[in-house]
Amino acid sequence: MVEGKMHFRRMDEGTSEDFALLAAVHEANIRALPDLLLGMLTQLTADGTYPVDRLEHSLQCATRALRDGRDEEYIVCCLLHDVGESLGPFNHGEVAASVLRPFVSTANYWMLAHHPVFQVYYIGQHLGLDPNERDQFVTSPYYDRTVEFCALYDEVSFDPDYRSEPVATFEPMVRRVLDLQWTPPT
């Protein structure tokens, strides 16, 4: 927790001391982000409608990527790809992508943001949606990456018999990927 209090009523009245305090708040928030996201991840157990809850789905997704030898950033994206479900059920991919954007590559950001549209390929016919909706992005350099993410990791990770790694396996990876030192804009 950051000690002190800013003293302005409007931001344009703030002093250098006020904004040094604001910078400290941002730094503290960035340090707390891994715990916040891991907490959001563990809250995904509330959804028991699927064959496995969304926490187990996320763990299966990340475990498959880990066992396939994917890099840590990709594995963390697999783990956290659905943390935005509760906050943005209609745009959960964009929510997760936006939170992770400062920490991940453009390719992984795009994959996260667009994966819900790509998942429609597997479920669209049951919902009256166009399964080929993803084809609007066929010219994207990240199209194949997102197709692969959905096919190899997201779509197949609802198996009650699959033995996934626990959250503790991924926690150090989350902390390393989200280890960004914030510097105030100049």
Q: According to the model, what pLDDT value does residue 71 have?
A: 98
Q: According to the model, what pLDDT value does residue 130 have?
A: 95
- The CA distance from 77 to 11, in Å, is 35
Mean pLDDT estimate for the chain? 90
Please state the domain extents for the chain.
16-177
Q: Give CA 80 to chain center in angstroms.
A: 4
Q: According to the model, what pLDDT value does residue 30 have?
A: 82
Q: Tell the residue number behind the tokens 């510097």, with chain if given.
A: 183
CATH topology of domain 16-177: Hypothetical protein af1432 (1.10.3210)
Q: Point out the residues of the chain with pLDDT beneath 70.
A: 1-2, 180-186
User: Are the C-beta atoms of residues 126 and 110 closer than 8 Å to each other?
Assistant: no
For 135-157, the DSSP string reads GGGTTSTTHHHHHHHIIIIITT-
Q: According to the model, what pLDDT value does residue 183 have?
A: 52
Q: According to the model, what pLDDT value does residue 115 have?
A: 97
Q: According to the model, what pLDDT value does residue 55 have?
A: 93
Q: According to the model, what pLDDT value does residue 159 have?
A: 96
Cβ contacts of 30-33, under 8 Å, gap ≥ 24: 30/178, 30/180, 30/181, 30/182, 33/99, 33/178
Q: According to the model, what pLDDT value does residue 10 have?
A: 84
Q: Is the pTM of this model over 0.85?
A: yes
Q: Give CA 173 to chain center in angstroms.
A: 13
